[in-house]
Chains A and B, each alone.
Chain A
Amino acid sequence: MRVLLAALAAILFLSPTLQAQPTTVQEVLQAHGDAIAKGSRKSIGPAIDAIAASGLPQAQTVLETWQAKDMWQRKSDGLFFSAKEVAKKTYRLTDFDTGQTVGEFDKGDLRQLKPNSGVRALIGVALVQFQLSDPDPARRLDALTAIQRDPEPSHLAPLRASIDGETDPAIKIRKQQLETLLTIRFDSDDASRIAAIETISKDISLDTRATLNTLLATTRKAAPGAVPETENIAAVLKPGTEQLSAGDAYTLLADNGLAPALITDGEQRNILSANISGGKVSGVPVASLNTQAARDRAYAALVAEGKAVPRPTAEDITAALANHSFYDAYFEPSKPVTDAAAKALKSVEIRVAFNQTLDLALDGISLASIFFLAAIGLAITFGVMGVINMAHGEFIMMGAYTGYVVQQFIPNYTVSILVALPLAFAVTFAAGVAMERLVIRHLYNRPLETLLATFGISIALQQIAKNIFGTQARPLTAPEWLDGAWVLNDVVSISFIRIAIFALALIFLGVFLFIMRRTRLGLETRAVTQNPRMAASMGINPDRVNMLTFGLGSGIAGIAGVAIGLFAKVTSELGSDYIVQSFMTVVVGGVGNIWGTLAGAAMIGFLQKGIEWMNPSNTLAAQTYMIIFIIIFIQFRPRGIIALKGRAAGD
């Protein structure tokens, strides 16, 4: 590198055409010596520009050294060197031009240049053109990112110059994209700007939209008489319409000095109070000033005395508004460019809207999978057996806490999740069987009391969890391969955890269908559900079947708990957050039918996301409207989306 620089320097020295230009960096530095030594952000610009524009190969080194605070000035002759500390208070100086060591000097003979952060930033901008052609691809990327963050007209030329020499195809594409964006913003030729705008009208990235929006930024102005011809007008506004209220229009006039300022009621009061003398304001007693009319009278008296300016009357305001025109003007002066940009933005926005719909659909699917997961256990206990289990949410919570406890013992997240899933099933299966044996068995045919008894259990379980694990949220960490998201473009993305939950929901659906349709337990469950006495006389033990079915439903809740815990906070209230939605899912979908549960989850998930999209700032409102919608929906389909028909539907 150094040899190369030396060679380049030699060529430059030999070149006869460089008479007018400085031949060494030192000359340039000396030419701006005072400014450099002073290091003020205001006056340093020409110095930096001179170094960068000198065309000397050492310019980059100088700027980098300076930026790194390694450039020192020798006090004796004011020359600048690159310095390196070799011993305490002793520095070895290196000449920029020759690369030769000049010698070692005591710190007292030298002065360090300490550019402040503002100056360093300016140096950074100047360095960009060197960095864009840096041999190291990582530094070229850094330079591109730096330009993207804070683009300037001066970047355009070096960026264009660097594209042809670019060897890395990925960086080349980025450079071209950035070049397009910079062309749109800073190029002096309208035709090339419009051409660049047209090329990006199919792109939906954030940068594109930001560039177009910057180009289309407007400012609201008022002018006496007609709209001036010189401005690039975005829209002409009429005062008193929705875009511009009469009050705003008048304030705009007053702010621009085109009309006397409006005096608010508060300002009027302050003026009155400043003019109190002897308990009166120009003859009106202060005590009577407790209505607006009285204050107006007192103020009018003050105006007559010349102590205050008159407030503009309603007629004044109307006249002022009529005599002025109001419009939004683009900052960008060129009309063809703004027209092209507006057209491009429209086409971009259509694409963005399409992609947002896609993104919303993905969100809806993932929320629906969560509701489905939370509700599928209920679909078994409530839907198939007709037993209402308010402690279902607490089984979900137990599953999540099981996952947390497993992670305390198994540090590998992948293994711990694989262990936690069957373990959560086992724990909640056991809890479900115990609950069925001890409580629910005694309450068959008394659904309201089942509801209350299971609620008692739910209260107790929740409090026990709080006593054991505390009230703070416990982490259930997902394995690394579930981190991150599947990013389609700047608009559409979905996290891997949600994809995994969707997959898990599909697996559960399959498992449920398999158990109910293809196994002995499923057959017996359906038989007992339809007619327990007949089933019993066929040799099926209804007690055992009920116990196992309830255990199965609870166990699935446990697995769902592990899945939900991966993205939600694991607290003792985890279950109660989902219980109402779970019941809604089952009820809306239709009791006793897994496809109904699926339909219910899909409907609730999509609906909630849809409502959230309409009012994005407010998820609470979304849930409120959601529940109101469900209450109304039940009016029209009391038995859910997919209702059982025939005898099985009987109460």
Chain B
Amino acid sequence: MTTTEQHIDQILIPILEQVSDPEIPVLSIMDMGVVRSAQIINGIVEVEITPTYSGCPAMDVIGDDIKKALKDEGYKSTIDLILHPAWTTDWITPRGRKALEDYGIAAPLEAQADKDVLLNEKRLVKCTNCGSQNTRLVSQFGSTACKSQFQCEDCQEPFDYFKCLK
């Protein structure tokens, strides 16, 4: 139960990579780390996904999108939502982090640094527009459950920061 390994059939990876988070379309669900397993068992693809945040409304959509992507390739599938082990931002791949940054969302920092920035004690989050670290926390809560709002004091760009979750 404590394993954090993913068990994903190689054949399914390219299909699953086409599915993205509906709220962050540049980020594939594979790079986000929400797919925990995908196996073909008796001709049916059994997929397990884990929510980023409990109330994330994207999970239902992601489940439907996975089903559709698999169906387009001729697979029937079942989707299970699992809660254990709990998702962490560590599961976002390096490619996923880069996609976030390019999209204008600062990628999560380490746990302690995250705490420092969210208490507005240290300025560590880099502006996604100009790269300056002279940024200010506007609110711990942002446009979706997983983000908080920041503003750059140099170029004035408002942007989201993906909160660290461990």
Are A and B associated in one complex?
A: no
Which B positions have Cβ atoms within 8 angstroms of A?
none
